[in-house]
Amino acid sequence: MINRLILQVDRLSKAVGQAFAWCIVILTLGTVYEVFVRYALGDPTSWAFDLSYLMYGALFYMAGAYTLARGGHVRADMFYRKWSTRTQAIVELILYVLFFFPGILALVYAGSGYGLESLRLREVSVNSPAGMPIWPLKMMIPVGAALLALQGAAEVLRCLVCLKEGDWPARLHDVEELESQIISQHAAEVGDGTGAAR
């Protein structure tokens, strides 16, 4: 039951993160277009700067929970990977309670006021004459933080399951770091004896 709940939260984070990953494509196309018209045609756009920080900001806010679900946030791996799974779970649980949730819940609270005020004013960018609306980006602050809090709750449950069962519950595997692939490949080669000759 708990494992199913964890995977459901992981799936939500994955869906949101992958949807907002398209911001990279939009950002790239907008930047390429801006470079072309600026340097080849001598006619820069009035909206490229706003587009770049809106797309990057949206990706940053909304993909945080997905990154957390994939275990992709920064940690001191040089120590962490040497610990037993039980020690890893205890340390993570303590860090979530002491640091993660106070900061994220403060961001939800403060970001809600900030985002709602921007929505009320229908705030637009003052950085360019295009006047692009920025209130949707500011509304993403509390939404992204709430998704991070939800994923953080799933990570706490993951720690509790690890403490009870002695092993980490499964994560979704939609993408994998190259380093992880190399380690797995090396372990397989050593396991079947083919790595000894290299």
Q: What is the pLDDT of residue 198?
A: 46
Contact 119, 40 (CB under 8 A): no
Q: What is the pLDDT of residue 9?
A: 95
Furthest C-alpha separation in the chain: 68
Could you give the angle at the alpha carbon of 154 between the alpha carbons of 149 and 156, nearest 5°?
Answer: 90
**Distance in angstroms (rounded) separating the CA atoms of residues 43 and 82:** 56
Residue 78 backbone phi and psi in degrees, to 5? -60, -30
Using alpha carbons, select from 173, 178, 159, 190 the residue that is nearest to residue 3. Answer: 159
Average pLDDT over residues 36-43: 92
Average pLDDT over residues 70-91: 83
Q: Which residue has the tokens 């907008």?
A: 30
Residue 133 backbone phi and psi in degrees, to 5? -65, 130
Residues whose CB falls within 8 Å of the CB of residue 157, separated by 6 or more in sequence, listed in order: 2, 5, 6
Taking only the tens place, the pLDDT of each residue in 58-74 is 998 999 999 999 887 77
The band of 81, judged by pLDDT with boundaries at 50, 70 and 90, is confident
Taking only the tens place, the pLDDT of each residue in 115-131 is 999 999 999 988 878 88
pLDDT higher than threshold 80 for residue 53? yes
Taking only the tens place, the pLDDT of each residue in 143-188 is 999 999 999 999 999 999 999 999 988 887 766 666 667 777 877 8
- Start-end of H helices in the chain: 2-20, 22-35, 48-62, 64-69, 77-80, 85-95, 101-121, 135-165, 178-191
Q: Which residue has the tokens 């797995």?
A: 184
Average pLDDT over residues 31-49: 91
Q: Which amino acid is at 120?
A: R
pTM, full prediction: 0.81
- Cα 198 from chain centre: 38
Mean pLDDT of the chain: 88
Contact 61, 53 (CB under 8 A): no
**Distance in angstroms (rounded) separating the CA atoms of residues 173 and 7:** 11
